[in-house]
Each structure stands twice: as C-alpha cells, then as structure tokens.
Amino acid sequence: MAPPASPSRRVPPVLVLGLVLGLLVVVGVTCFARLSRHSPSQAQVHADFARIQAALDAYRRDGHALPEEGDLSFLAPKYLPEPPLDPWGRPYEYLSNGERVILSTLGADGRHGGVGEDEDHTSTDGHPAP
C-alpha cells in the first residue's frame, strides 16, 4: 500500500480553480480577438457572397450556362430581386470559367489593395459566410 500523500504534495483547490479560470480567460480573449477582426462590412460582403452563390447555383440548376464575366443583372428578378451592391454602394465583380465563380469587391476605397475597410474581398479569400 502506498503511503498517503503529504499535505505539501497536494495542489490546493484554489490554485486549480485559478488555473482553470486563467485558461478560460486566455481562450475567451483569443476567440474575441479573432471575431473582432472582421468589420460589419466584411461580414455583409461574405453574407452577400453566400446569397449570390445560392442564386448562381439555382441559375445553373435551371440549365443556364454561367456568363464568363460581367455584372449580376442576369440573376434578376428570378433568382435575386435585384443585383446586390457591396456595402459601399458598388456592384460586386463577377468572373467565371463556367464551373468556378469568383465574386469580389474592392473595399471602401474602390481601389485594388488596402487594409481594414479598404481591404479587397473575394469569394475565395477564406472568410466563412456568417
């Protein structure tokens, strides 16, 4: 039989509780930081991309071939009430090779490149739809 643990070898419950709470704070702050990197405009862009993609899928299911490029007016009014505009009031850009579609917007400044609100967004940039 093993000798009982001496009081100096046991970890006090207060210390365990402190470690658990500390870990929860670190995880919470990390998650909040990741979520807060995306502005409401970015969230709107990716929600629009999901809505446009669903309309494009329905368009294709109805037997239509996708145009190679242009605006999204071919989806209105049957698949979308009207072609959506990005959060800055400009039409989304559209490219397709017949199979794969890329939707994009140039951000708040309307120019290529940028950071923050000016950042360009594409439907292939890895941001999940909300």
- Which residues on neighbouring strands pair with residue 96, listed in sequence order? 101
- Higher-confidence position of 63 and 11: 63
Q: State the pLDDT at residue 3.
A: 61
- Higher-confidence position of 23 and 90: 90
**Does a structural domain hold residue 64?**
yes
**Does a structural domain hold residue 84?**
yes
**Does a structural domain hold residue 31?**
no
Q: Which residues of 39-56 are buried (b: 16+ CB within 10 A; e: fewer)?
A: eebbeebbebbeebeebb
Mean pLDDT, residues 44-71 taken together: 92
Domain residue limits at 106: 40-122
pLDDT tens track for 70-114: 889 999 999 999 999 999 999 999 999 878 899 999 989 999 988
Q: State the pLDDT at residue 50.
A: 93
**Does a structural domain hold residue 66?**
yes
Count of domains forming the chain: 1
